[in-house]
Homo-oligomer: A and B are copies of this chain.
Amino acid sequence: MPRAGLTTEVLTRAAADLADEAGLEAVTLSALARRFDVKVASLYAHVAGADDLRLRVAMLAHTEIADATAEAVAGLAGREALHALADAYRDHARVHPGRSAAARLPLTPQQAAASDGVRTSRLTAATLRGYGLDEAATVHAVRLVGSVLHGFVSLEASGGFDHSTPGAEESWRAAIEALDAALRHWPTTPLATPANPAPGADR
Protein backbone atom coordinates (compact mmCIF):
# COMPACT_ATOMS: atom_id res chain seq x y z
CA MET A 1 0.00 0.00 0.00
CA PRO A 2 1.27 3.48 -0.90
CA ARG A 3 2.42 5.89 1.75
CA ALA A 4 0.56 9.06 2.49
CA GLY A 5 3.69 11.21 2.74
CA LEU A 6 3.03 12.54 6.18
CA THR A 7 5.40 14.89 7.91
CA THR A 8 5.02 17.13 10.94
CA GLU A 9 4.84 20.10 8.61
CA VAL A 10 2.16 18.60 6.39
CA LEU A 11 0.08 17.53 9.38
CA THR A 12 0.35 20.94 11.00
CA ARG A 13 -0.79 22.70 7.86
CA ALA A 14 -3.66 20.28 7.36
CA ALA A 15 -4.66 20.73 11.00
CA ALA A 16 -4.60 24.51 10.56
CA ASP A 17 -6.78 24.25 7.47
CA LEU A 18 -9.13 21.93 9.31
CA ALA A 19 -9.33 24.45 12.15
CA ASP A 20 -10.21 27.22 9.72
CA GLU A 21 -12.88 25.12 8.07
CA ALA A 22 -14.47 23.37 11.02
CA GLY A 23 -13.29 25.14 14.15
CA LEU A 24 -10.38 24.49 16.46
CA GLU A 25 -12.37 21.98 18.48
CA ALA A 26 -12.68 19.86 15.35
CA VAL A 27 -8.91 19.48 15.19
CA THR A 28 -8.48 15.96 16.50
CA LEU A 29 -6.05 13.26 15.57
CA SER A 30 -8.97 11.14 14.47
CA ALA A 31 -10.22 13.77 12.06
CA LEU A 32 -6.74 14.32 10.70
CA ALA A 33 -6.17 10.60 10.21
CA ARG A 34 -9.49 10.40 8.38
CA ARG A 35 -8.44 13.26 6.12
CA PHE A 36 -5.23 11.44 5.12
CA ASP A 37 -6.94 8.04 5.07
CA VAL A 38 -4.50 6.75 7.61
CA LYS A 39 -4.81 5.16 11.03
CA VAL A 40 -4.66 7.42 14.06
CA ALA A 41 -1.67 5.66 15.59
CA SER A 42 0.40 6.51 12.53
CA LEU A 43 0.20 10.19 13.39
CA TYR A 44 2.12 9.65 16.59
CA ALA A 45 5.24 9.21 14.49
CA HIS A 46 5.00 12.87 13.54
CA VAL A 47 3.34 14.68 16.42
CA ALA A 48 3.50 13.94 20.13
CA GLY A 49 -0.26 13.95 20.56
CA ALA A 50 -3.36 16.05 20.23
CA ASP A 51 -2.08 18.91 22.39
CA ASP A 52 1.20 19.00 20.54
CA LEU A 53 -0.68 19.23 17.25
CA ARG A 54 -2.76 22.18 18.42
CA LEU A 55 0.35 23.85 19.78
CA ARG A 56 2.00 23.53 16.39
CA VAL A 57 -1.04 25.13 14.77
CA ALA A 58 -0.74 27.99 17.26
CA MET A 59 2.93 28.46 16.43
CA LEU A 60 2.15 28.46 12.73
CA ALA A 61 -0.56 31.06 13.29
CA HIS A 62 1.82 33.31 15.23
CA THR A 63 4.32 33.11 12.40
CA GLU A 64 1.72 33.90 9.76
CA ILE A 65 0.38 36.82 11.78
CA ALA A 66 3.89 38.20 12.22
CA ASP A 67 4.53 37.87 8.48
CA ALA A 68 1.23 39.44 7.49
CA THR A 69 1.53 42.40 9.83
CA ALA A 70 5.16 43.00 8.93
CA GLU A 71 4.29 43.17 5.26
CA ALA A 72 1.33 45.43 5.96
CA VAL A 73 3.20 48.12 7.87
CA ALA A 74 6.22 48.20 5.58
CA GLY A 75 6.84 51.75 4.45
CA LEU A 76 4.18 53.28 6.67
CA ALA A 77 4.36 55.26 9.88
CA GLY A 78 2.17 56.63 12.63
CA ARG A 79 -1.57 56.47 12.25
CA GLU A 80 -1.46 54.85 8.83
CA ALA A 81 0.89 52.16 10.08
CA LEU A 82 -1.40 51.53 13.05
CA HIS A 83 -4.40 51.04 10.78
CA ALA A 84 -2.38 48.79 8.48
CA LEU A 85 -1.15 46.68 11.37
CA ALA A 86 -4.62 46.40 12.86
CA ASP A 87 -6.30 45.59 9.57
CA ALA A 88 -3.72 42.93 8.73
CA TYR A 89 -4.27 41.34 12.12
CA ARG A 90 -8.04 41.38 11.77
CA ASP A 91 -7.98 40.20 8.17
CA HIS A 92 -5.90 37.23 9.15
CA ALA A 93 -8.40 36.37 11.84
CA ARG A 94 -11.32 36.65 9.44
CA VAL A 95 -9.73 34.55 6.73
CA HIS A 96 -8.28 32.06 9.21
CA PRO A 97 -10.63 31.80 12.18
CA GLY A 98 -9.24 28.46 13.28
CA ARG A 99 -5.61 29.55 13.15
CA SER A 100 -6.68 32.71 14.94
CA ALA A 101 -8.35 30.73 17.71
CA ALA A 102 -5.22 28.61 17.99
CA ALA A 103 -3.13 31.76 18.37
CA ARG A 104 -5.15 32.50 21.49
CA LEU A 105 -4.27 29.20 23.15
CA PRO A 106 -2.38 29.65 26.39
CA LEU A 107 1.34 29.16 25.99
CA THR A 108 3.96 28.51 28.62
CA PRO A 109 6.42 31.38 29.02
CA GLN A 110 8.99 29.28 27.16
CA GLN A 111 6.64 28.57 24.29
CA ALA A 112 5.56 32.20 24.16
CA ALA A 113 9.16 33.35 24.07
CA ALA A 114 9.92 30.93 21.25
CA SER A 115 6.88 31.93 19.21
CA ASP A 116 6.69 34.59 16.55
CA GLY A 117 4.32 36.45 18.83
CA VAL A 118 7.40 38.27 20.07
CA ARG A 119 8.11 39.33 16.47
CA THR A 120 4.65 40.87 16.28
CA SER A 121 5.24 42.60 19.61
CA ARG A 122 8.53 44.06 18.40
CA LEU A 123 6.87 45.14 15.20
CA THR A 124 4.09 46.82 17.15
CA ALA A 125 6.63 48.65 19.28
CA ALA A 126 8.41 49.83 16.15
CA THR A 127 5.12 50.94 14.63
CA LEU A 128 4.41 53.06 17.70
CA ARG A 129 7.77 54.78 17.49
CA GLY A 130 6.26 57.76 15.68
CA TYR A 131 4.07 58.60 18.66
CA GLY A 132 7.09 59.66 20.66
CA LEU A 133 6.42 57.58 23.75
CA ASP A 134 9.24 56.83 26.14
CA GLU A 135 10.46 53.32 26.67
CA ALA A 136 8.23 52.47 29.63
CA ALA A 137 5.13 53.92 27.99
CA THR A 138 5.88 51.99 24.81
CA VAL A 139 5.63 48.67 26.65
CA HIS A 140 2.25 49.64 28.05
CA ALA A 141 1.12 50.94 24.67
CA VAL A 142 2.14 47.73 22.92
CA ARG A 143 0.12 45.77 25.46
CA LEU A 144 -2.85 48.08 24.99
CA VAL A 145 -2.73 47.71 21.23
CA GLY A 146 -2.43 43.95 21.60
CA SER A 147 -5.38 43.91 23.96
CA VAL A 148 -7.57 45.93 21.62
CA LEU A 149 -6.73 43.85 18.55
CA HIS A 150 -7.01 40.57 20.37
CA GLY A 151 -10.11 41.59 22.29
CA PHE A 152 -12.03 43.06 19.39
CA VAL A 153 -11.27 40.20 17.03
CA SER A 154 -12.10 37.70 19.70
CA LEU A 155 -15.42 39.33 20.58
CA GLU A 156 -16.24 39.66 16.91
CA ALA A 157 -15.47 35.99 16.32
CA SER A 158 -17.72 35.06 19.25
CA GLY A 159 -20.53 36.84 17.50
CA GLY A 160 -20.61 39.59 20.08
CA PHE A 161 -21.20 42.27 17.47
CA ASP A 162 -23.53 40.33 15.21
CA HIS A 163 -27.05 41.46 14.65
CA SER A 164 -26.64 44.80 16.30
CA THR A 165 -26.10 48.12 14.67
CA PRO A 166 -23.85 49.59 13.58
CA GLY A 167 -21.76 46.85 12.02
CA ALA A 168 -18.50 45.64 13.44
CA GLU A 169 -16.60 47.20 10.55
CA GLU A 170 -17.50 50.71 11.61
CA SER A 171 -16.65 50.02 15.25
CA TRP A 172 -13.32 48.60 14.17
CA ARG A 173 -12.28 51.78 12.42
CA ALA A 174 -13.58 53.84 15.31
CA ALA A 175 -11.60 51.69 17.76
CA ILE A 176 -8.35 52.14 15.86
CA GLU A 177 -8.99 55.86 15.54
CA ALA A 178 -9.58 56.03 19.28
CA LEU A 179 -6.41 54.05 19.84
CA ASP A 180 -4.57 56.59 17.72
CA ALA A 181 -6.07 59.34 19.83
CA ALA A 182 -4.99 57.57 23.02
CA LEU A 183 -1.45 57.24 21.70
CA ARG A 184 -1.32 60.90 20.70
CA HIS A 185 -2.67 61.98 24.07
CA TRP A 186 -0.84 59.35 26.10
CA PRO A 187 -1.30 60.18 29.79
CA THR A 188 2.02 61.08 31.33
CA THR A 189 0.77 61.82 34.83
CA PRO A 190 2.01 59.54 37.61
CA LEU A 191 -0.08 56.41 37.61
CA ALA A 192 -2.95 56.33 40.02
CA THR A 193 -3.23 53.40 42.38
CA PRO A 194 -6.38 52.21 44.13
CA ALA A 195 -4.97 53.55 47.39
CA ASN A 196 -4.02 56.84 45.80
CA PRO A 197 -6.60 57.83 43.22
CA ALA A 198 -5.64 60.66 40.96
CA PRO A 199 -7.62 63.85 41.42
CA GLY A 200 -10.54 64.26 39.09
CA ALA A 201 -8.98 67.46 37.84
CA ASP A 202 -9.01 66.64 34.16
CA ARG A 203 -12.60 65.63 33.78
Contacts and interface: CB of A to CB of B under 8 A. Distances in A.
A163 B109 contact: yes
A186 interface: yes
Contacts of A157: 106
Interface string A76-111: 001110010001000000000000000011111100
A197 interface: yes
A83 B192 contact: yes
Contacts of A109: 159, 162-163
A148 interface: yes
A140 B155 CA distance: 13
Interface in A109-141: 109, 112, 117, 130, 136-137, 139-141
Q: Which 4 A-B pairs have the closest CB atoms?
A: A151-B151, A147-B151, A140-B174, A182-B182
